[in-house]
């Protein structure tokens, strides 16, 4: 099998030289992490098998919930370990290169950009916040208490039975839309409050239940860059 390279993140060469990460295992649970230096930056990688992480294999494996959950969890844990030791630009789940030469081309093309970003990240921590919602509970609240929905219910009650059937179908759609609006309004309000305490923020992909393995729906996923001395205050505000 061909040896592929799984890229976890980019760090400063000077920091990578001062830390030992070889005792950390990669995403396959077997190979240790390696540091590959390119100019002023270093790439944190581990070798992975093409049979599990090659293009064709990933097309199959990413359709399997258990595989995705296990590997996404390991990816996250490895990044957390690296962030505790290094200034790090994290890579997305399953960022893979066919060989070191293709990785070198990527590094050469982005070295200046990544150097600038790494300098910005120094002395700061990135925290990811995910918000989950139980839609059934929110739907019940909206259906029973939202003024617009109550008004529509009253209007429907005055209609003929035939019209009531059609309008109740539309009412269900209205409730669903209102739930989404209320959900977004709430998470945007939270995000605004958290944003005021941060140097920078980024909205990230919201994962479905197949990935999270939770009963609740993920309705927000954000990254928050915070100065180290402000982390404690930030955490108090979100808990």
Residue 195 or residue 145, greater confidence = 195
**Predicted pLDDT of residue 154:** 81
On whether the CB atoms of residues 8 and 91 are closer than 8 A, the answer is yes
Q: How far does the chain reach from its first CA to its final CA, in angstroms? A: 47
Instruction: Give me the pLDDT at residue 210, please.
Output: 77
Question: What pTM was computed for the model?
Answer: 0.68
The full set of domain ranges for the chain reads: 3-122, 128-238
Query: Which of 22-31, 102-111, 140-149 shows the lowest per-residue confidence on average (mean pLDDT)?
Result: 140-149
| Residue of higher predicted confidence among 159 and 112 | 112
Between 63 and 154, the more confident residue is 63
Q: Which residues 6+ apart lie within 8 Å of 155 measured at CB?
A: 167
Share of the chain above pLDDT 70, in %: 100
Place of tokens 């969890």: 73
Tell me the per-residue pLDDT of 38-53, one tens digit each, with 9 for 90 and over. Answer: 989 999 999 999 999 9
User: Using an 8 Å Cβ cutoff, are 183 and 133 in contact?
Assistant: yes
Residue 145 confidence (pLDDT): 75
Mean pLDDT across the stretch 163-170?
79
Least confident of 99-113, 157-171, 182-196: 157-171
C-beta separation of 4 from 48 below 8 A: yes
pLDDT of res. 1: 56
Q: Which residue has the higher pLDDT, 94 or 155?
A: 94
Q: What is the pLDDT of residues 115-141, one digit of tens each?
A: 999 998 988 988 889 999 887 887 888
Q: What number is the average pLDDT over the span 21-27? A: 89
User: Closest Cα partner for 52 from 34, 31, 35?
Assistant: 31
User: Mean pLDDT over all residues of the chain?
Assistant: 89
Q: Which residues contact 174 (CB under 8 A, 6 or more apart)?
A: 148, 149, 152
Name the pLDDT band for 31 (thresholds 50, 70, 90): very high
Q: Is 151 helix (H, G, I), strand (E, B) or coil?
A: helix
Token output for 32: 């240790």
Which pLDDT score is estimated for 174?
Answer: 83
Q: What tokens were used for 177?
A: 């839309």
């Amino acid at each position: 099998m061909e040896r592929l390279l799984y890229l976890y993140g980019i760090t400063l060469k000077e920091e990578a030289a001062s830390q030992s990460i070889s005792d950390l295992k990669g995403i396959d649970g077997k190979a240790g992490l390696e540091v590959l230096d390119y100019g002023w930056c270093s790439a944190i990688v581990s070798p992975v098998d093409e049979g599990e992480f090659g293009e064709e294999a990933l097309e199959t494996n990413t359709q399997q919930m258990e595989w995705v959950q296990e590997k996404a969890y390991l990816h996250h844990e490895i990044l957390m370990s690296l962030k505790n030791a290094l200034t790090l630009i994290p890579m997305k789940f399953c960022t893979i290169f066919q060989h070191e030469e293709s990785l070198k081309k990527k590094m050469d093309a982005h070295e200046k950009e990544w150097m600038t970003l790494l300098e910005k990240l120094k002395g700061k921590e990135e925290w990811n916040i995910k918000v989950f919602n139980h839609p059934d509970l929110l739907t019940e609240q909206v259906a029973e208490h939202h003024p617009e929905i109550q008004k529509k219910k009253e209007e429907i009650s005055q209609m003929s039975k035939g019209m009531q059937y059609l309008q109740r179908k539309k009412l269900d759609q209205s409730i669903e839309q209102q739930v989404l609006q209320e959900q977004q309004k709430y998470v945007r309000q939270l995000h605004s409050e958290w944003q005021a305490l941060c140097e920078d923020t980024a909205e990230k992909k919201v994962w479905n239940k197949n990935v999270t393995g939770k009963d609740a729906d993920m309705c927000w996923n954000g990254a928050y860059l915070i100065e180290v001395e402000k982390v404690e205050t930030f955490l108090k505000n979100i808990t």
